[in-house]
Amino acid sequence: MSSTSLTLPAPAPAAARKRRLLEILGALAIAGTYAYLVLNQPSDIAGGPGSAAALIALSGFLVGAILLIMAVLPTLPASTLVLIPVALVLNIVLGQFVGSTLVPFYLDAIGTVLIAVLAGPAAGAATGALSSIIWSFFNPTVLPFAAGAALIGALAGLAARYGLFRRFYFAPIAGFLTGIIGGVVSAPVAAFVFGGTSGVATGAIVSAFRAMGDTLFAAITKQALLSDPMDKAIVFTLVALLVYALPRRARLQFPFVRRHNVLAGTGRDDATN
């Protein structure tokens, strides 16, 4: 019969190194862009046309996000890959709905955080970035936030990796901290690309800070620090509720959950036999 083997070969180390390099480059692109924007020129956003800053923010963050996707997406197992569209639809449907209300939250990361908890930081980062890119098919204004979304996914995965989803009260705390970092990173995009926020509710908060005489960048960063941590605390809590409602077999099909003992009550004792 056919001479091909029915079993999988061990993964080649060269490919793994290349992927790791892409991951690092992507993270560097995002970090570098952020550092450049913050260090060089927050003063004049409200001054001139400011399109160079917008271009740098757009291209730097987008290139970073795409590098991350290129690094991670080919390595994901099928069980994670098919869950990404589900996560994206959750992000988009909830995000679109909440964005249309007058609540200063977004709730557009539930799917991303769900994947991160089940499949790890890398998968979370790729899902976050992909989510923004594919959502921009319906709403192009979310595209520049791809890097921020990737960061949320990565942080959520790390939180899961280190057991913050094992206790119920840790999840909102982890979400709160993630929100602080995510908000700080997304603020330059809102400031330099959009010159403000995309919602009326968040806009009102920015207005309040501007009325107190803050620069636009400072006002948007403060607004992000008000909205994002609460938002992510809610998201992390909802995801914790979701994953604990999943049947055991569905949770344990993810090696990340088994290996790192992500959820309470699903020890690896049986898995290792």
Partner 1 sequence: MKLHPLTSLAIAGSAAVVTTAAASVPLSLAVMATAAALSFMSGRGAQVLAASAMILVPLCLALFMVHGLFFPEGTTVIAQWGPARVTIEGLTFAAERASRIGAAVVPLLVFSCTVSVPDLVAALSARGVSGRVAFVLAATLALVPAIGQQQLRIRQAQEARGLVIRRHLPSRIAAFRLQALPLVLSLVEEASGRAQALEARGFVSAARPTSYRQVQDPLPQRILRWLVLLCAAVVVGLRLSSSLPGGNW
Partner 2 sequence: MTEESSVLRACVEHFTFHDEAGPVLTGLELALRRGTITALLGASGSGKTTLGRLLGGWSRPGNSGLLSGVLEVAGQILHFEGTDDDPAINAAEWARHVGYVPQDSTTVLSMVRATVGEELAFGLENRGVSPAAMRESVQHVAGRLGLTHLLEHSPTTLSGGELRKLAIGCVVIMNPEVLILDEPAASLDAEAAAGLVTLMRDLAGRGTAVLVLSQCVDALVRAAGHWFLLQEGSLSAGGIMAELPDFTALAAAGLVVSAGCGGVGSTPATDLPVDAQLMPDGSAHRALPPDLGGSKFPAAQLTDVQFAFGPVARQRRPLRRRNAQRAVPPNTVLRGVNLSLQAGEVIAITGPNGAGKSTLLRHFNGLLQPDSGSVLIEGKDIAGQATGTVAAAVGLLFQQPRDQLFERTAQREVAFGLSGSAGTIAAAATHALDVVGLSGASSRHPAELPASQQRLLALATVLARRPAILLLDEPTVALDGHGRRFLVRAIHVAAAAGAAVVLVTHDVDFAAEAAHKTLVLSDGILVPAEP
> What residues line the site for partner 1 (CB under 8 A)?
41, 44, 46-56, 58-59, 69-70, 73-74, 76-79, 81-86, 88-90, 92-93, 99-100, 130, 133-134, 136-141, 194-200, 202-204, 206-207, 210-211, 213-214, 242, 245-247, 250, 253
**3 or 43: whose CB is closer to partner 2?**
3
Partner touching 6 among partner 1, partner 2, none, CB below 5 to 8 Å by kind: partner 2
Q: How far is the CB of 204 from partner 1 (least distance, A)?
A: 7
Instruction: Say how far apart CA 215 and CA 194 lie, in whole Å.
Output: 15
Close Cβ partners of 164 (under 8 Å, ≥ 6 residues apart): 170, 171, 173, 174
**75 or 253: whose CB is closer to partner 2?**
253
DSSP, collapsed to helix, strand or coil, labels residue 222 as helix
Say whether residue 15 binds partner 2 (CB under 8 A). no
Instruction: Say how far apart CA 96 and CA 141 lie, in whole Å.
Output: 12
**139 or 261: whose CB is closer to partner 1?**
139
Close Cβ partners of 66 (under 8 Å, ≥ 6 residues apart): 26, 129, 133
Say whether residue 5 binds partner 2 (CB under 8 A). yes
Read off φ and ψ for residue 65, nearest 5 degrees.
-65, -40
Class of residue 108 by CB neighbours under 10 A (exposed 0-12, middle 13-18, buried 19+):
buried
Say whether residue 1 binds partner 2 (CB under 8 A). yes
Q: What is the DSSP letter of 192?
A: I
Residues lying near partner 2 in the complex (CB under 8 A)? 1-2, 4-8, 244-250, 252-253, 258, 266-267, 270-273
